[in-house]
Amino acid sequence: MAARPNFESVNDNIVWKKAVSHLSKNDVMLARLIKKLGRLDINVTNDYYESLVRAFIFQQISGSAGNSILKRFKSLYNGRLPSPRRFLSTPEGRVRSAGISPQKYSYLKDLCTRIEDGRLELDKFRHMENEDIIEELDEVRGIGRWTAEMFLMFSLGRTDVVPRDDLGIKKAIKRVYGLKDYPSGSKFSELSEKWTPYGTVASLYLWHSVDNGILK
């Protein structure tokens, strides 16, 4: 049997230091950001099921609204997230009473059904390549490439993820690199090639540059 691949995690301090060194050496603008912002914190969770449930609940609403709905949802199950089986045995009306829309209910139901019938095995993701994970998650109702990329970054801690369709990343690149418009596909490729294999860390610094008003 072939050995399962082991992937580095951005949550590892040694990996983070290697990433910062690589990015600073290969990209002058990122070097400036890293110097200004210092070490960033990234919260990587290994509860893959909960991270996907949260992703559905928080879709297209504010963080405070998402937290409120998640709290009410958990209160239906004594303050804990229900197992997929328990969720599927709960009447839809009871679930929706927590503030979950019909569309989001359908997403949660599809996720839990796939986990229960074995079509989706979340634990095996830790040993899979990024694109294979994205392809498998894309089969789940309500999960597109962006949500899958967030899963790669914040649940698996993968080091080389650059969400090309993320508006915050596009805004940051435009401002940090002094572009007249959002980056073209070729510009995005040019930059991400310099960041590889630490595109996730580059993305984090770009997001924080927007949040902190760096390099306006």
Task: Give the active site residues.
Answer: 166
The answer to whether residues 8 and 179 touch, using CB atoms and an 8 Å cutoff, is no
**Cβ neighbours for 119, distance < 8 A, ≥ 6 positions apart:** 139
Residue keyed to tokens 């400036």: 32
- List alpha helices for the chain, DSSP H: 13-26, 28-37, 48-58, 63-75, 84-88, 92-96, 102-117, 130-137, 145-154, 167-176, 185-195, 199-211
The answer to whether residues 172 and 179 touch, using CB atoms and an 8 Å cutoff, is no
The answer to whether residues 159 and 10 touch, using CB atoms and an 8 Å cutoff, is yes
Residue keyed to tokens 């796939």: 114
